[in-house]
Structure 1
Amino acid sequence: MLTGKQKRFLRSKAHHLNPIFQVGKGGVNENMIKQVSEALEARELMKISILQNCDDDKNAVADQLARGAKAELVQLIGNMIVLYKESKENKQILLP
């Protein structure tokens, strides 16, 4: 579980990132969760955008992705999700 200070730090780091994945009409599936998990192992911090045509609730989408990838939900603002997961082999971000 991340503290408020750590979440603020990660939000500031994620501000300049571009979204890597998009959740669209198909919603969240196993393949997407696998790809998100692999990308988090490589990057630790990433943005995912939710498209207008997504039928699912954005809170449910964020929760599904975070649980599936075993990551921390840093922020859900508008249609943008920020996820963080500490990398086992490629550690780049040092939390305060």
Structure 2
Amino acid sequence: MSQLTTKQKQYLKGLAHNLKPVVLLGGNGLTEGVMAEIEVALSHHELIKVKVASEDREVKRAIMDAIVRESAAAQVQVIGHILVLYRESEKRKIELPKAR
């Protein structure tokens, strides 16, 4: 996945605003099952929110970085415990503004 432009990120943030988190990370942290759920959600929706419920800021950051790396998705934004991810799927559902 190539990097998103600022314009594309702004556009995706607007689309993500009303979304609810589709994957919630609990006490077990980042498991294979959780990654599988994220993969399915990204393939189906392209743009998703993941809630990482960790009180430790360092742990939360490490988990979010791992999700971005493992899913090969672009990080659109992080607000508190919510990570917004975008990954283009085979059947493109979201038409991004063109990168200049």
For 2:89 and 2:20, how far apart are their aligned partners in 1? 20
Matched, 1:72 2:74: yes
What is the CA distance between 1:52 and its match in structure 2? 4.7
- Matched letter for residue 19 of structure 1: P
Aligned pairs for 1:58-69 within 5 A:
58-69=60-71
Classify 1:64/1:21 alpha carbon distance in 2 versus 1 (closer, same or farther; 3 Å).
Answer: same
Corresponding residue for residue 23 of structure 1:
25
**RMSD in angstroms over aligned alpha carbons?**
1.7
What is the CA distance between 1:75 and its match in structure 2? 0.6
Corresponding residue for residue 42 of structure 1:
44
Give TM-score scaled by structure 1 length. Answer: 0.89
Give TM-score scaled by structure 2 length. Answer: 0.86
Contact kept in structure 2, 1:40 and 1:84, CA below 8 Å: yes
- Matched letter for residue 32 of structure 2: E
How many residues end up aligned between the 2 structures? 95
What is the CA distance between 1:23 and its match in structure 2? 1.0
- Where do 5+ consecutive residues of structure 2 fail to align? none
- Matched letter for residue 12 of structure 1: G
What is the CA distance between 1:85 and its match in structure 2? 0.3
- Where do 5+ consecutive residues of structure 1 fail to align? none
Identity of aligned residues (%): 37
3-state SS of paired residue (2:15): helix
For 2:95 and 2:57, how far apart are their aligned partners in 1? 36
3-state SS of paired residue (2:48): strand
